[in-house]
């Protein structure tokens, strides 16, 4: 399969960069999502059926994306723990001055604002559990 799209001619990204940029885990070049902006909320779930560069199917089986709920949960817990750590260190937590409720508000706001990005990141991460980088796609 030869592809003439400019994005497919670029060098592959590193594993971490391909995760953060929502690239195909097999070739690390093709976009997984049809719209790059995650904050276009009506299109946050719109994915290509196949990678535009290597042809890797994105939905491996019916209901494949249900597993991303677990990945998204782990990401949200990790971010909440990180937010708790910096808040505790720099501001402090106490029931007496209601600072724990301010942390809850800040954390909820942050997770809500980051949710479209986290949805896409969890899908890319979940797909990378099952699809590994293939050097042969470099020649496509």
What residue ranges bind Zn ion (CB under 5 A)? 24, 26-27, 30, 51, 53-54, 56
**Toward Zn ion, which CB reaches closer, 22 or 107?**
22
**Toward Zn ion, which CB reaches closer, 75 or 125?**
125
Q: Is 3 left (phi over 0), alpha (psi -120 to 50) or beta?
A: beta
Q: Are the beta carbons of 53 and 140 closer than 8 angstroms?
A: yes
Shortest reach from residue 58's CB to Zn ion, in Å: 9
d(CA 73, CA 132): 23
Exposure string over 24-36, b if 16+ CB within 10 A, otherwise e: bbbbbbbbbbeee
Which three-class secondary structure state does DSSP give residue 95?
coil
**Toward Zn ion, which CB reaches closer, 25 or 38?**
25
Shortest reach from residue 5's CB to Zn ion, in Å: 11
Shortest reach from residue 57's CB to Zn ion, in Å: 10
Kindly list the distances between the CA atom of residue 129 and the CA atoms of 13, 26, 42, 79, 123, in Å, as whole numbers in the listed order.
17, 11, 26, 21, 10
Shortest reach from residue 109's CB to Zn ion, in Å: 35
**Toward Zn ion, which CB reaches closer, 97 or 138?**
138
């Amino acid at each position: 399969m030869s592809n003439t799209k400019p994005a497919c001619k670029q060098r592959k990204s590193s594993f971490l960069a391909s995760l953060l940029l929502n690239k195909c885990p097999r070739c690390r070049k093709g976009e997984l999502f049809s719209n790059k902006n995650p904050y276009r909320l009506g299109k946050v779930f719109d994915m290509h059926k196949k990678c535009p560069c290597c042809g890797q199917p994105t939905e491996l089986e019916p209901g494949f994306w249900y597993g991303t709920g677990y990945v998204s949960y782990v990401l949200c817990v990790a971010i909440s723990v990180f937010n708790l750590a910096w808040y505790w260190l720099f501001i402090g937590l106490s029931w007496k001055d209601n600072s724990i409720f301010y942390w809850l508000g800040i954390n909820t706001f942050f997770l809500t604002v980051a949710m479209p990005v986290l949805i896409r990141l969890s899908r890319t991460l979940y797909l990378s559990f099952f699809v590994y980088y293939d050097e042969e796609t470099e020649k496509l």
